[in-house]
Amino acid sequence: MSTGASNPVAVSDVVIVGGGIMGTSCALFLRRRGLTVTLVEQGLVGQQASGTNFGNVRRQGRPLMQLPLANRAIANWRRMKELVGCDVEYLQVGHVRVCYRDRPELVDELERYAREARTYDLELDVLTGAAMRRQFPYLGKEVLAASFSRNDGHANPRLVSPAFARAAQRAGAAVFEHTRIVNVEKDGTDFRVTSEDGRVFRAPVLAITAGAWGNRLSAQFGEPVDLTARGPTMCVSEPVPYSIYPSTGVFTPLEQETVYFRQIPRGNVIIGGGTRGPAYPDLCRAYVRPENTLRQLGQIQRLAPSLGRLNIIRVWSGIEGYTPDGQAVLGASEQVSGLFYGFGFSGSGFQVGPGVGETLAELIHTGTTAIPLEAYRMSRFAGSPAGMRREGLAR
């Protein structure tokens, strides 16, 4: 593997490695700030977690510390057409999370979260009994309470990252797909980013937004993260009359019970959640386990029994990167100046994506941001035996 010619393919203010929603939105926001940008992606933009996730665009249920970022993001979701120039099927039709009768204590948790979230401008209504049944007539008998976030919604993940990438390109960003980065290093004041086929990209700033592959790059700067790759269990029904508007899911401590669904105007019902499946970043493949689909479909009938009438026509998965504490690594590296991170969103990155991109761009451009990023520091993993045992780090 050559370390690259002395004539790099591209020199820019910023190189971004990883073309999911984080990287593509960051590219657009950097261009809007007048910085030159090169975005490199190993496959096609938005092909992994950003394109295969459930599509929830919701703040409800996020740990409170994520809400400033989520609020920034929602402002961008609401103006997506203006930002990227096309429809990404964002619908602000609300988000519902329910708890079951067998865990009545969860109603208190829903109500407590609703109170606390108010300080972050998230308005939630917790409904039970007849009022709940009237507003959400599709919920199963086991459902005890429903917390409704009227200003949340959903969008089509397949369209979003490619839309950001095209908008960034129209704004002057250079986007290279089928460009897998194998080596990153700082060479004087510049970062030198080398692809598998020997092309070199240089910039004084490097942003690593490479999802489940993020740690392979961060480790090269001595900042490994214990990332686990997992695949969401997804399926979709045939199209049926559009009648369920909010995205709906179960609030429960059990992973198997944590299922959710959303119907789109075309009529298909998308189902996600439950047990995740195996994902293979080396192969860029993730597989849905049939047992997981079966369990998921059993659980979805508890949440909304009428879905039992429908047929599912397709399952799919993708590759998501999970950190040990389920929070992303986001912000400036404390070890290497000019190095920024935005990966490890642990299956919850879609909604915050446009906020992450905007925040990273702001941070890169001005050196500061109003969004509190302490909880996302890479250095919280320093000193853990993280790097040593992860496969894919040793090369």
Partner 1 sequence: MVEPRVVVVGAGPAGVRCAEALASAGIRPTLVDENRRDGGQIYRRQPENFARSYAKLYGTEASRAAAIHSSFEKLRGQIDYLPQTLVWNIEGRNLYLVRDARHITLTFDALVLATGATDRLMPVKGWNLSGTYSLGGAQVALKSQACAIGADVVFAGTGALLYLVAAQYQRAGARVRAVLDTAPWSDRVGALRDLFAVPATLLKGLLLTFALRRAGVPVYTGIEPLEIVGTGAKGVSGISFKDSRGRTVDMECDAVALGYHLRPETQLADLARCEFYFDPATRQWLPQVDPDGRSSVAGVYLTGDGARVRGAAAAEKSGELAALAVLQDLGRAPDLDAMRALRRSLETFDHFARGLNQAFPWPSGQAARLSDDTIVCRCESVSVGELRQVVQQAGARESNRAKAFSRVGMGRCQGRYCGHAAAEIIAHAANVPIEKVGRLRAQAPVKPLHIATVQNADEARSNASVEGVR
Partner 2 sequence: MGGRFVRVGEAGRRVITLSVDGKPIQAYEGDTLLVAILTSIGNLRTSEFGDGLRAGFCLMSACQDCWVWTTHGERLRACSTVLTEGMTVSTQQPEGTWSNLE
Contact positions toward partner 1, by CB under 8 A?
A: 44, 51, 102, 140, 142, 158-159, 162, 166, 237-238, 253-257, 287-290, 293-295, 297-302, 305, 307-316
* Residue range at the interface with partner 2 (CB under 8 A); choices 83-91, 147-155, 213-221, 306-314: 306-314
Name which position in 113, 138, 164, 221 contacts partner 2 (CB under 8 A). 138
Name which position in 43, 198, 204, 267 contacts partner 2 (CB under 8 A). 267
User: Quick check: 63 binds partner 2 (CB under 8 A)?
Assistant: no
Please report how close the Cβ of residue 298 comes to partner 1 at its closest, in angstroms.
3
Q: Rounded CA gap, 356 and 27, in Å?
A: 11
- Contact partner at residue 7 from partner 1, partner 2, none, CB < 5 to 8 Å by partner kind: none
Closer CB to partner 1, 234 or 364, in the complex = 234
- For residue 91, give the DSSP letter: B
User: Quick check: 134 binds partner 2 (CB under 8 A)?
Assistant: no
CA angle, residues 153, 159, 162, in degrees to nearest 5: 130
Please report how close the Cβ of residue 359 comes to partner 1 at its closest, in angstroms.
27
Length of the chain: 395
- Here the tokens at position 369 are 């941001």
Closer CB to partner 2, 35 or 139, in the complex = 139
Closer CB to partner 1, 150 or 295, in the complex = 295
Closer CB to partner 2, 313 or 382, in the complex = 313
- For residue 28, give the DSSP letter: H
User: Quick check: 240 binds partner 2 (CB under 8 A)?
Assistant: yes
| DSSP codes of every residue in 142-201 | TEEEEEEETT-EE--HHHHHHHHHHHHHHTT-EEE-S--EEEEEEETTEEEEEETTS-EE
- Contact partner at residue 197 from partner 1, partner 2, none, CB < 5 to 8 Å by partner kind: none
- Contact partner at residue 51 from partner 2, partner 1, none, CB < 5 to 8 Å by partner kind: partner 1
Closer CB to partner 2, 168 or 307, in the complex = 307
User: Quick check: 301 binds partner 2 (CB under 8 A)?
Assistant: no
- Here the tokens at position 334 are 């404390």
- Contact partner at residue 316 from partner 1, partner 2, none, CB < 5 to 8 Å by partner kind: partner 1
Query: How would you classify residue 353: left for phi > 0, otherwise alpha for psi between -120 and 50, otherwise beta?
Result: alpha
Question: What track of x and - describes contact with partner 2 for positions 315 through 344 (by CB under 8 A)?
Answer: ------------------------------
Amino acid at 243: S
Decide the pairing of beta strands 174-176 and 190-195: unpaired
Please report how close the Cβ of residue 216 comes to partner 1 at its closest, in angstroms.
24
Sequence-distant (≥ 6) Cβ neighbours of residue 352 within 8 angstroms: 66, 69, 70, 73, 345
Sequence-distant (≥ 6) Cβ neighbours of residue 213 within 8 angstroms: 18, 42, 281, 321
Q: Rounded CA gap, 187 and 302, in Å?
A: 57
- Contact partner at residue 139 from partner 1, partner 2, none, CB < 5 to 8 Å by partner kind: partner 2
User: Quick check: 264 binds partner 2 (CB under 8 A)?
Assistant: no
Please report how close the Cβ of residue 106 comes to partner 2 at its closest, in angstroms.
20
Closer CB to partner 2, 83 or 269, in the complex = 269
3 state SS of 342: strand
Please report how close the Cβ of residue 187 comes to partner 2 at its closest, in angstroms.
55
**Smallest Cα–Cα separation from 364: which of 29, 134, 9, 137?**
29
Please report how close the Cβ of residue 180 comes to partner 1 at its closest, in angstroms.
17
Question: Token pair 């689909």 is at which residue?
Answer: 293
Residue 298 CA: distances (Å) to CA of 143, 292, 301, 315, 391: 15, 10, 6, 15, 34
- Contact partner at residue 142 from partner 1, partner 2, none, CB < 5 to 8 Å by partner kind: partner 1
List contacts with partner 2 (CB under 8 A): 133, 137-141, 238-244, 266-267, 304-307, 309-311, 313
